[in-house]
Structure 1
Amino acid sequence: MYGLRYLIERVYGLKGYLMLLHFFWSIGWSGTLAAGGLYEINLADTTVSREIRIISSSTNSLAEQNAFIQSSLTAEDPSLVFAGYSAVGDATPEPVENNAWLAVEAGTIFGVEVEELDFLVGNGTGFDVKSIEAVSKGVVVIPDALSTSLSARSHDYKSDSFGLISTSGSVTNYSFSVIPGQQRDSISVIDEGNENYSVVSSGTSALLSAAFEKSGTSTDPDRSEFTVLNQRAGNNVKVINQTYIASVVPEVSDSLIDFGMEGTYFVSSSEGHDSNDGLSPDRPKKTIAAAVALMPEAGEKVSLKAGDIFEETLNVPLSGSVGSPVVYGAYGIGEKPVISGASDITGWESYKGSIYRAKVGTDVGQVFVDSEPLEISRYPREGYLTISSVQTTTEITSNEINTGIDYAGSKLLFKPNSWSLMTVDVLSSSGGDLTTTAPTSYAYKQNWGFFMLNNASFMTYPGCWYYNSSDGYLYVWLSDSSSPSKRKVAVSVRNTLELGTRKAITIENLNLNASAGHGIDSSPNGGGYITIKNCEINYSCKGGIFLNSQNDYSEIVNNQITNSKWDGIRTIYCDNLDISYNRIENSGLLYSLSTTGTRGQQSGNGISASYSTPGTSHIHHNYVEKAGYCGMVVNGLIEYNVTRNVCLTIDDGGGIYSQANGSIIRYNIIENAFGTTEGEAGAGTTLANGIYFDDNMDRGLAENNFIVRCVQDGIVFHNTTNCMMKNNYVVQCYHGLKCDSDGKNGNSAIGNTVVELNTYLTDYNTYGSLVNIRNRSTVSEWDANTYYTPYNTKPFVSASLDPIYSEFPTWRSNSGLDANSEIYEISKGEEEIYYNETPEIKTVILTGTYYNLKGEQISNVILSPYTGVVVVKAK
């Protein structure tokens, strides 16, 4: 493609090349450069924005080209005025504010380094560099004179090459049209026979060729994808994605979302105006603020246009009523409308070396470069420093810090225990002495760890930033050490959605991105009956969703929540909740933290639903991946969930954690509770568990859960009463089943399967166990369990028995437990673990010689929903 563009420019010149861009703007196309030298084109009408790779032709009117450039500028910033073209060697004009000159080549123009097709925008004293995507990246366009070089071609799938195939059902001839200028060309995909297909063009203008790429093969076809374009009446664009399956005509898949046209008030940042009444899609308001000023009330809906971006906060002004909520959602066809907490930053100047700065003037929560997060400056860059001594509640000394740095203004995060990471501000420093604000909840501890964020002196490596609240400047050092003036830099400066104390509100089909606080926040308390569904919430500086007390009878359903600094979902003192079908990833991870720090103890959960009336909430069918603390901290009925990779920032938690009486935890899959001891004094074994019932819990039930790879306990009861483990399947955990209670009683374990594999995480021979009961008197019943182990080395432990470590016969005799339980030695072979994370029964066909854990040969396994099994493949 680069060679093609080069040829075009050599024949027609760069301005001729630019002239051809107008056509794409007129039908709503803008582009971005793709990997591999292709160009990705966004296809859009008033309701849709999709992506395709194409080649096409256009008109070459200079007036149309200039109009296109001006409209591109206006769409980006209505104050910008197109002032003409510029090249290396041109005289520098007066830098009239907001006048924009388009650079026709790369180099130094008007004293500023620019890339080809950048704009030089006057600021009154000089020139800022600005890139307009529709112009700078655009499309590859082909003049009519070159169209013959792109004549229709035929490709044979059977030869393991790539090509076009029919588009739907049994249809083999599929026609579509495109409007180049005012002329219409017909483009057809024709079945040539023998699985050969060709593209045919008719009309007077140049050929439009669908583009495609293939990564699969004829024997592994599922990764072969291609795209065709259908330009229907007007500018209604349809994108069809297809996958090749040998000898089968692929189905058409239309990925666009149709949100409908319902609403009381309509808002469009791209097409609206606040002088409109906002009562129809044809006359939308431009800003959310203007729409909510109309005071939407019970039964009304505020609809945001699909595909639009709103750089403002949605402050909900009025409550709805039970059964008749106020709804905030989307209309039209396209992606979910975005409410962004981020604003673009311009006006960059060189500061020192590869560090640049720009005036922001308001607190910065996080920084994005081309939509990717930049890490906040950190000291040390990795790991923790050590508190050498503690003088007062606000004064500490560290012998490990650089004594030549002024740490005032930094954020300091420290570990006072395994399950907390506290955040304070550094007020002053002298040598190794630090004075901070007073910690909440827990105090400093000698020999425990800390680190600091956000200081100019911490900017010793590329890929970091620092905000100076004293002078309002943001400092960045990009990963490639380039100037940020040629990149899109945005910072989180505002919250995205504030519920306040409102009642009966529905939030649906919105994308809430880069909030400076919570993605959705209900503070200081709520009115209840809140519904949040089908939303995407990403990069919140605090939590993804936070419902404070009194938000009873609320639903959080089918949302995707990623990259929250605190918790993905958090509710406190809320009863009768339904939290279901949510996907939550990357909550409270250590190296994603920013100026908001953490919320303190037990921060960084996928889902935290705490301090509610026991047994009133239902938490089900959620998926949690990568949590700084627990996958879930919950109360009520917890079932059909999956948690993976937890306790990555702090420790002494688990996949699912509860202290609430009467909680039922069943049919969940929990995998990889690895834990961390970083920053802990005398760091030893991590304390990450599968299911964790904690202090003073009564009548809890853990039943039919599948738990795999926990560095501490598969299931642990810690100071609980009358709690039961029943029919759980626990695999490869340091302690399989554990009761760690003093002065409590009535706990039991019935019908569980505990498996230790030949491949293990730690030294089970010396320390680990299938069962660990600290005090025998705390257990009332422990029977009908099945144990599998490759070891014969005392896998049963009780500190209250003699001997403490025992093999199964001795254990059964001394404890009086496990009278009807069985133990098996696992056959040597390759252990394989199979899961079923779906609501349907799943059958796995085993190829080769396989055995179950009792040594019986099997050919398949049948898995009920949200269960798993271990099988052994013969060597």
Structure 2
Amino acid sequence: MNIILHRNHLRITILLLLACILPSYATHRYISNTDPNANNNNPGTSQNAPWASFAPLTNFTGIDTIFLKSGDIFREQMTVTNATDLVITSYGNGDYPVISGADLVTGWTASGGNYMATFNSTPVGFFINRQEQTLARYPDAGSYLQVDSATKYFLEDADLAAIPPQVLDASWVCIHTKQWCWEKTAVASSSGNHIAFQTPTLQQATRKYGYFLYGDSSYLSVQQEWAYISSSQKLYCIPTGDPNSMTCEASVRPYGIELGTGTNHITIAGIAFDMQTSTGVAILDSNNTHTHVSDCRFYGQYEYGVDVFCTHAEISNCIFTHVDGLGIYLRNTATGAEIHHNEFHNIAPFRNHGVGQEFNGSALLASFTDSCHIHHNLVDSAGYCGLSVDGKYNLVERNVVRNAMLLNNDGAALKTFGVGSQYNIFRNNFVSNSEGNTEGTYQADFLTPGIYFDFRTNHCSVIANTIYNQTPKGIFQNSGNQYNTISDNVVYGSGFALDLNGNPITGIPMRNITVSRNDFFARDPNAYILRQVDYTDSMDTGPLDSNRYFQPYNASHYAYRPQETPNTDYGFPAWQATGNDTHTRSSFVSWTLPEAMDTLIMNPTDNDSDVVLGNVLYLDLDSQLVCGTITLPPYTSRILIRTNTTCNNGIDRMTATSDMRVVPNPADTLAQLYLNPPLEHTTFYVLDELGRVVASGTTTGKYTQLPAGTLAPGMYMIRVENSTQYTRWIKSR
């Protein structure tokens, strides 16, 4: 998908580039903990006499480049202050040098069905053979206790009375407070069915929503769980084998590289970051500017892969894997960031890890950040949103997001929120398979969309995106949204292609949402093209026109207005009668499942793509014939209708000089076959998409009435006896 370059090629390119731009008189420092000549008493200015650790890095003045030896693992933290135009990269051959936030755990002994080791620091995460283990919990994964009642300061549940107070008091609790978040806090105290929180939750927990307890060693019960008892400095686990023969690591250091005050124009390239308790690269001073993180790998950070406070940061060609909180966090001071050509995999796999608040779990979160360019990223698996971008003047384009929303159901693959989100553009993105998870939710009522403009988002645009394999909902506009544009998108197969949800929750009516030139295609009889709510009852959410709406399985399911009971469903003619979609085209085909003659062709790359259709004749949604090869521009898609007719059968393409055509076309019962020269007393045949004769008649001269009365809406071919020429007829209804 052209998201990211081949790793080895990219790394060599970057290192060669750095070698070219670094002047010969520059001051370099080399660090290796495996070179036999390494010593912190060395000057560290050559590969032959490197430093052995980061310890000598106390003053960065005059240092141009810090080189870490490839293949080495540095179990320490680098803190940089007061440095400008500094490059931190690698030297030598081999794997990326690793800055690890974890220490090895050794000396395991069997203990009552578990294994135990002494470990002198309180770990945040625990890994066996680079697989993060689950903090021991009750109930076990997949099961939950239920909230009876709660505030932001406590919860009550009758089932708690059966758990010893000393166990509860040593526990943490993870609560599904709302459909969009899981929150965690330590238990401050307990009494009977009541536990008080050490830190208030941001949202009040919902009655009957799920929660679980974790952290106490008594909860150890299944493989791949662990617990730590700080009073005895003992780490317990239930591994899948003997941990003495495995690599066991516990996260103890907060940062890989911490960029503090006075750090500007810093480049970090070709480094791997593992298992920090907070962040791989922490850019913590909002007064800093122009940090570039390129070709780096991030794995197992507990909170963030990269945390950005500075302005004009650039993060490119990096891979983020198994980060427990957020892959990239752009704070509200991170103006002008460019995030591009990165990959995000398996972000936020645990409900009780990471930040533990309502914004946890996205591959990228821009928290009311302005003027950022987020492009050419691949997101594959995230617990919450794929790319969540709040703020102003941000451009989110040419990204591929799939398998987001694996832990929550109120969110989206692409999302923006709030009255402070203005003039953002989401365009030419591909979204799929981000359908939400209702686990731990009681009577979940939110249908997860592909693209989500939340409360009071305004003056923003959704342009030329493709949403597919997204069953619940395609594009969602929530209460209070105004002056947004939805144009040129393809939504293929969602339960609601578009939801204009002007409910009263914000107290502000939805207005001036412009919807035009979209292709909305339903793929089952229960689906609707659009849903419209307006609590003012004016149904004036904005202009809808010049779209293509296809519901080939249910002619009454074009629009749904739930407040107009009992007549909530609209067929297309009734919908047009409301004054909407005057110039919109509706489906010219009608099917019954499992029949499906539609196909979606896509090009999520930066180059034109030629799609070979073979010798099968297709129609596009404007009922134009498509044969042979079709060229898709970059990051676009099209929906085609297969006809089961070949391209080489002499089909007339309905030019102005055609001798045989249907007029008007599309048409319903008034369709006539036009023949020039006129032809009388000759049999003609009407064929369906499968090539079967479904009707016939006799020509009557220049114009012949077609037998439309018994035919369902759809596409038909007409052939006159003793002729190889065909023409097509789109029966509209």
TM-score (norm 2): 0.77
* Corresponding residue to 2:380 among 604, 613, 625: 625
Q: Do the aligned residues in 2 keep the contact of 1:450 with 1:679 (CA within 8 Å)?
A: yes
Q: Do the aligned residues in 1 keep the contact of 2:326 with 2:362 (CA within 8 Å)?
A: yes
Equivalence for 1:374: 133
2:230 aligned with 1:469, yes or no?
Answer: yes
Equivalence for 1:771: 530
Equivalence for 1:598: 355
2:475 aligned with 1:715, yes or no?
Answer: yes
State how 1:436-835 maps to structure 2 within 5 Å. 436-479=197-240, 482-495=241-254, 496-504=256-264, 505-523=266-284, 525=286, 527-548=288-309, 551-573=310-332, 574-590=334-350, 593-594=352-353, 597-613=354-370, 616-634=371-389, 635=391, 636-659=394-417, 660-684=421-445, 686-718=446-478, 719-741=480-502, 742-758=508-524, 765=526, 768-775=527-534, 777-791=539-553, 792-799=555-562, 803-814=567-578, 816-824=579-587, 825=589, 828-829=595-596, 831-835=598-602
State how 1:188-199 maps to structure 2 within 5 Å. none
Equivalence for 1:194: none
Deviations 1:396-422 (A, max 9, x none): 222345824523322211122111211
Deviations 1:430-451 (A, max 9, x none): 5543233132321233212111
Equivalence for 1:311: 75
How far apart in 2 are the matches of 1:501 and 1:255?
A: 30
How far apart in 2 are the matches of 1:410 and 1:458?
A: 10
Any idea what SS the aligned residue of 1:569 has?
Answer: strand
Stretch moving more, 442-451 or 699-708: 442-451
Number of residue pairs matched?
Answer: 598
Residues 859 and 665 of structure 1, relative CA distance in 2, 3 Å threshold? same
Residues 441 and 395 of structure 1, relative CA distance in 2, 3 Å threshold? closer
Deviations 1:134-159 (A, max 9, x none): xxxxxxxxxxxxxxxxxxxxxxxxxx
> Bigger relative contact order, structure 1 or 2, given CA contacts below 8 A and separation 6+?
2
Equivalence for 2:95: 335
Any idea what SS the aligned residue of 1:414 has?
Answer: strand
Q: Do the aligned residues in 1 keep the contact of 2:227 with 2:235 (CA within 8 Å)?
A: yes
| CA-based RMSD | 2.4
Residues 461 and 800 of structure 1, relative CA distance in 2, 3 Å threshold? closer
* Corresponding residue to 1:865 among 619, 628, 634: 634
How far apart in 2 are the matches of 1:444 and 1:379?
A: 18
Q: Do the aligned residues in 2 keep the contact of 1:618 with 1:637 (CA within 8 Å)?
A: yes
Any idea what SS the aligned residue of 2:133 has?
Answer: strand
Q: CA deviation at 1:777?
A: 4.0
How far apart in 2 are the matches of 1:413 and 1:831?
A: 45
AA of the residue aligned to 2:112? K
Stretch moving more, 634-643 or 793-802: 793-802
Residues 298 and 756 of structure 1, relative CA distance in 2, 3 Å threshold? farther
Deviations 1:703-725 (A, max 9, x none): 11111133433112212111010
Residues 782 and 467 of structure 1, relative CA distance in 2, 3 Å threshold? same
How far apart in 2 are the matches of 1:542 and 1:658?
A: 21
AA of the residue aligned to 1:817? N
Any idea what SS the aligned residue of 1:646 has?
Answer: coil
State how 1:9-158 maps to structure 2 within 5 Å. none
AA of the residue aligned to 1:756? A
State how 1:243-282 maps to structure 2 within 5 Å. 257=12, 259=15, 264-271=28-35, 272-282=38-48
How far apart in 1 are the matches of 2:11 and 2:424?
A: 41
AA of the residue aligned to 1:308? D
Any idea what SS the aligned residue of 1:288 has?
Answer: coil
Q: CA deviation at 1:330?
A: 1.2
Stretch moving more, 325-334 or 701-710: 325-334
Equivalence for 1:185: none
How far apart in 2 are the matches of 1:722 and 1:609?
A: 22
Stretch moving more, 483-492 or 617-626: 483-492
Q: CA deviation at 1:581?
A: 0.9
Residues 576 and 399 of structure 1, relative CA distance in 2, 3 Å threshold? same
AA of the residue aligned to 2:610? T
Q: Do the aligned residues in 1 keep the contact of 2:532 with 2:539 (CA within 8 Å)?
A: no
Residues 393 and 633 of structure 1, relative CA distance in 2, 3 Å threshold? closer
How far apart in 2 are the matches of 1:647 and 1:389?
A: 26
Deviations 1:631-679 (A, max 9, x none): 1111401111111111111222111111310001111111112112222
Q: Do the aligned residues in 1 keep the contact of 2:483 with 2:514 (CA within 8 Å)?
A: yes
Any idea what SS the aligned residue of 1:512 has?
Answer: strand
Residues 412 and 778 of structure 1, relative CA distance in 2, 3 Å threshold? farther
How far apart in 2 are the matches of 1:590 and 1:787?
A: 40
Q: Which has the higher helix share?
A: 1
Equivalence for 2:700: none
Q: Which runs of 5+ in 2 are unaligned?
A: 1-7, 503-507, 645-689, 691-733
AA of the residue aligned to 2:632? L
AA of the residue aligned to 1:506? T
State how 1:237-248 maps to structure 2 within 5 Å. none
TM-score (norm 1): 0.65
How far apart in 1 are the matches of 2:413 and 2:138?
A: 30
Residue identity (%) = 24
How far apart in 2 are the matches of 1:522 and 1:390?
A: 41
Q: CA deviation at 1:255?
A: 10
Residues 799 and 373 of structure 1, relative CA distance in 2, 3 Å threshold? closer
AA of the residue aligned to 2:226? W
Stretch moving more, 652-661 or 795-804: 795-804
Q: Do the aligned residues in 1 keep the contact of 2:601 with 2:638 (CA within 8 Å)?
A: yes
Q: CA deviation at 1:847?
A: 4.3
Residues 279 and 421 of structure 1, relative CA distance in 2, 3 Å threshold? same
How far apart in 2 are the matches of 1:421 and 1:368?
A: 23
AA of the residue aligned to 1:555? E
How far apart in 2 are the matches of 1:850 and 1:363?
A: 66
How far apart in 1 are the matches of 2:531 and 2:217?
A: 50
AA of the residue aligned to 2:434? A
Q: Which runs of 5+ in 1 are unaligned?
A: 1-252, 759-763
How far apart in 1 are the matches of 2:11 and 2:400?
A: 29
Q: Do the aligned residues in 1 keep the contact of 2:10 with 2:295 (CA within 8 Å)?
A: no
* Corresponding residue to 1:421 among 177, 182, 188: 182
Q: CA deviation at 1:850?
A: 5.5
Q: Do the aligned residues in 1 keep the contact of 2:139 with 2:145 (CA within 8 Å)?
A: no
Equivalence for 2:168: 407
* Corresponding residue to 1:845 among 612, 616, 621: 612
Deviations 1:474-512 (A, max 9, x none): 001112xx3322222111111322123443122111100
